[in-house]
Structure formats: C-alpha cells, structure tokens
Amino acid sequence: MGKHEKKSSNVVWHQSHVTRDMRETQAGHRAGVLWFTGLSGAGKSTLAHAVEQRLHAMGVRTYVIDGDNVRHGLCSDLGFSDADRVENIRRVAEVAGLFVQAGVLTLTAFISPFRGDRAQARELLGNDFIEVYCNTPLEICEGRDVKGLYAKARAGEIPAFTGISSPYEAPEHAEIVVPTGSEPIEASVDRVIAWLETHQWLRGEKK
C-alpha cells in the first residue's frame, strides 16, 4: 500500500495545467470569437477567411469554424429542423469556447438568424464574443445568388429559407457592423482589424 501511495502521489497528485492566460501570453494576443452573422450570400464566410488571412499574416493564431468543416463532421448527425439548427449553433459556440481556451482568435461564419441563438452564444462566451453583422441588404444577396439558393427558395423548393420564408433577426447591438454589400472586401477587413486594434485584442494586452 505504501508503494501504491507513493506512485499515486507521483502520478495523480501533482496535477498542473497550462492555462488560457499562459497560452495568450505565448501567442502575444488575446483569444476570442468573431461571430459573423448575416443573410445567405452576405459575404460572412468570405469576409471571415479574408480577416483570418490578414490576422495570420500578423502572426495571430486563428481558425475559422464554418459550415464546411462542421456540417460534415461534428454536426453530421444534425439536419435543418429548428431544433437541429439550434443544436448546431450551440455546438459551434461550445467548440469556439474550447478554441478560446486554447488561445486561438476564432472566427465563426453561420447565418445564425435568430437573436435568441446568438444571445445564447454570447452568454456562453461572455466578453470573448464579438458579433460581426455582415449587413448586406436582401436584394443584393438575392441579386448575387451565388449558389442559386434564392431562386430555389422563391420557387418554394427550399422551406424556411432565411430572408424569404423565415426571418433574419438583425443584430441590434453588434460590436462590428460591416456594409458588406457596398464596399470592397479589403475595406471590410480593415474595419474588423481596426476594431480589434482599438479594443486592444492584438497586442497581448488582456481584458
């Protein structure tokens, strides 16, 4: 027993942890979540990836969580019912929270049309949550219709399509509002980076 106790003290009792704070110090910047929201075709994913590219070039640790990398993996068991969409957003927020703990400046790109769901993400992530509203008017998104989804929605082929047959509840207090429908993408990237710099996320100064 004495032998086991000694081993136990070696293996179990000296638990120590690398903390978020230690990871942020190593990274030289604050972690957080840039939560891009907006209509289909508003430019969320494109802007998120363009912002990421700029941040990466600045030496920032980044990762974009979007439909491409969760719908076929983590959330492959989920469909597009209301309950499944809520669960999808919940898991994304939870995973984003893990990335924040890991010291990563995380970017998420989901329509996330309902205020309640975004409020849940904000509650979960607290001061780490930065809402970025990609404010492209519906007529421009529909004019682009990159994936042909608006045409299908108008034809009644897609039920509950955001902006057409299901509401998009625009943010009322987004940290960053980007007129993604009326400026070049580089100007939109500048806007997001400027906000991060003004709010001291990129200099290793925390909270």
Cα angle 124, 126, 132 (rounded to 5 degrees) comes to 95
Q: Please say which residue, 10 or 127, places its beta carbon nearer to its own copies.
A: 10
Min dist. Cβ of residue 178 to its own copies (A): 10
Tell me which residues touch its own copies (CB under 8 A): 1, 4, 7-8, 10-12, 14-18, 22-23, 26, 41, 43, 45-47, 49-50, 52-53, 56, 59, 61-65, 69-70, 73-74, 77, 87, 91, 94-95, 97-99, 101-104, 136, 140, 143-144, 146, 180-182, 184-185, 188
Between 95 and 193, whose beta carbon lies closer to its own copies?
95
Which is the catalytic residue, given 112, 166, 182, 188? 112
Is 112 a known active-site residue? yes
* Shortest Å, Cβ 172 to its own copies: 24
Taking the least distance from each CB to its own copies, the nearer of 10 and 198 is: 10
Q: What angle do CA 98, 104, 113 make, to 5 degrees?
A: 70
To its own copies, the closest distance from the beta carbon of 35 in angstroms equals 16
Give least dist CB 158 to its own copies, A: 19
> Which residue, 26 or 81, is less far from its own copies as judged by CB?
26
**Secondary structure, 3-state, the chain:** CHHHHHHHHHHCCCCCCCCHHHHHHHHCCCCEEEEEECCCCCCHHHHHHHHHHHHHHCCCCEEEEEHHHHCCCCCCCCCCCHHHHHHHHHHHHHHHHHHHHCCCEEEEECCCCCHHHHHHHHHHHHHHEEEEEECCCHHHHHHHCCCCHHHHHHCCCCCCCECCCECCCCCCCCCEEECCCCCCHHHHHHHHHHHHHHCCCCCCCCC
Residues with catalytic annotation? Answer: 112
